[in-house]
Amino acid sequence: MPKTFTDNERENIRKSLRDAARVLLRNYGVRKTSVDEIVRMAGIAKGTFYLFYKSKEDLYLDIIVTFKDELEREYLDLLQELDENHIVTSLTDVFYFIAMKFFRDGIYVFLREGELESVLIKSTSPWDRNMLSLEKDMLFNLFSYFSIDDREEIGAFTSSFEALLYTFLHRERIDNFEKTLRYLIRGLVLQLVEA
């Protein structure tokens, strides 16, 4: 008979598995990480892992979905503190926050060739391609907060911002990376605001 867990225990186990998988994702990527390594780092029995996820790919898909939910909640909180009268600085702050969360949580690793595809091909969980990219609706809502509503310009900004995230894969080659990233984001914001 499988062990039963309280809701609190279930959430703690999921969190431990996600935390361990994120560390391993940053260090090795999806394809070079095994379930054995994840459970060892999380301090959880392998059998328990399979009570929560059918595969490591299902765990990584859960990490992506959890990241997006956290990101949306956190950036909405950040918006409450921003100054509408300083639109360029405020938007730069929001997008810098988004980019750095993308980095700190290790999500940028999915930009490596084959990493995301590996998860999608092998995952048994249902998924939708729209849930895996920066949600356009989320960004349109963000820009509407600043009365920016040109869908074509927002689309170009979004594509440019996503392209900028690829720099995380080569950040060690860029001097003063975080300051450089902030300048690049500010340049994108200026382009959008002046359009």
Task: Identify whether 103 is part of a domain.
Answer: yes
Task: Identify whether 48 is part of a domain.
Answer: no
Task: Identify whether 42 is part of a domain.
Answer: no
> Does the pLDDT of residue 142 top 80, yes or no?
no
> Does the pLDDT of residue 41 top 50, yes or no?
yes
CATH number for the domain that contains residue 62: 1.10.357
Q: What is the pTM of this model?
A: 0.82
Give how many domains the chain has, as a whole number.
Answer: 1
Task: Identify whether 40 is part of a domain.
Answer: no
Summarize pLDDT for 97-115 with one digit per residue, the tens.
989 998 988 888 888 888 8
What local confidence, expressed as pLDDT, does residue 100 receive?
93
Q: Which domain holds residue 169?
A: 54-194
Task: Identify whether 47 is part of a domain.
Answer: no
What local confidence, expressed as pLDDT, does residue 127 receive?
65
Task: Identify whether 70 is part of a domain.
Answer: yes
Task: Identify whether 150 is part of a domain.
Answer: yes
Task: Give the best-scoring range by mean pLDDT among 10-14, 65-69, 79-83.
Answer: 10-14
Task: Identify whether 190 is part of a domain.
Answer: yes
Three-class HEC string of 110-165: HHCCCHHHHHHHHCCCCCCHHHHCCCHHHHHHHHHHCCCCCHHHHHHHHHHHHHHH
